[in-house]
Amino acid sequence: MQETNGLTGDELCLGYHGRRVVDCASLHLEPARVTALVGPNGSGKSTLLRALARLHHPDAGSITFPGGGNALDLSAKEFARKVTLLSQSRPTPNGVSVRDVVGYGRHPHRSRWRNDDADGPRAIEHAMTVTGVTSMAERAVDELSGGELQRVWLATCLAQDTGVLLLDEPTTFLDLRYQIEILDLMRELADEHGVAVGVVLHDLNQAAAVADRIALLDQGRVRATGTPDEVLRADALTETYGITIEVGTDPATGLVTTRPIGKHLSRVTTS
């Protein structure tokens, strides 16, 4: 495991056009751990992740690597060798092949004047294999389905080969198989390669299953952080989401499970 993996946002204040949307939020992404950010729409998850990826400048607070190095001091290329973000939406280039888009991930590893990225071809092939896009390598990305494209962008991030991987709703658009494979991949990257993974997930049960730690955001504040058992509490979730959420234990796995209760359920619970 690389000891330099990991990233800490401390007391981050973030806003748009003077409107504060994240208020003194701290988030510690540990090496070899998956940290899930959960919370309602608009609670600030993407903004916080984007700030950690240096795509949103903080009004206050710090972003540091283990050992105290200031993430904001690095050049863009140095930073991109350490941290990557799979964002919710990226502009899709026209007529560019899947293999070439995945190759974009190697940009931080290439010098300006010559192609000296010896690990590049292996990293690109590996990233395409684990995301299941090898069979579409020569296709143009603008001809792919939403889920196929999501996997290509994930492959691009993996090819970047960073110690910190930030993923904003990576399972969106994906069918069940690829949702589960991406969760498995996150665990593998953390467990076998020591990567610090920070991931925004809406599915609380997926978060409980994959994450070592969960941060629950509520109106721009981190309401709770800890293990899934510590954070996924019925009272806190019900208050945060504004809907009754029951919490239990999955008898098959022993994992904490959550069940939002909607009126539609009365159709099956009353007869």
Ligand X SMILES: Nc1ncnc2c1ncn2[C@@H]1O[C@H](COP(=O)(O)OP(=O)(O)OP(=O)(O)O)[C@@H](O)[C@H]1O
Nearer to ligand X, 8 or 46 (CB): 46
Nearer to ligand X, 18 or 251 (CB): 18
| 113 contacts ligand X (rule: CB under 6 A) | no
Nearer to ligand X, 42 or 248 (CB): 42
- Under 8 Å between Cβ of 207 and 38: yes
Nearer to ligand X, 210 or 216 (CB): 216
CB of 268 to ligand X, least distance (A): 28
Burial zone of 193 (CB within 10 Å; 0-12 exposed, 13-18 middle, 19+ buried): middle
- Under 8 Å between Cβ of 89 and 34: no
Closest CA to 182 of 6, 174, 101: 174
Q: Where are the alpha helices (DSSP H) in 161-233?
A: 176-193, 204-210, 228-231
| 206 contacts ligand X (rule: CB under 6 A) | no
- Under 8 Å between Cβ of 5 and 195: yes
Q: How far is CA 122 from the centre of its chain?
A: 24
Q: Which two tokens stand for residue 95?
A: 């007529």
Give, as ranges, the residues between 8 and 37 that touch ligand X (CB under 6 A). 16, 21
Give, as ranges, the residues between 31 and 90 that touch ligand X (CB under 6 A). 39, 41-47
CB of 209 to ligand X, least distance (A): 19
| 170 contacts ligand X (rule: CB under 6 A) | no
Residues that bind ligand X (CB under 6 A): 16, 21, 39, 41-47
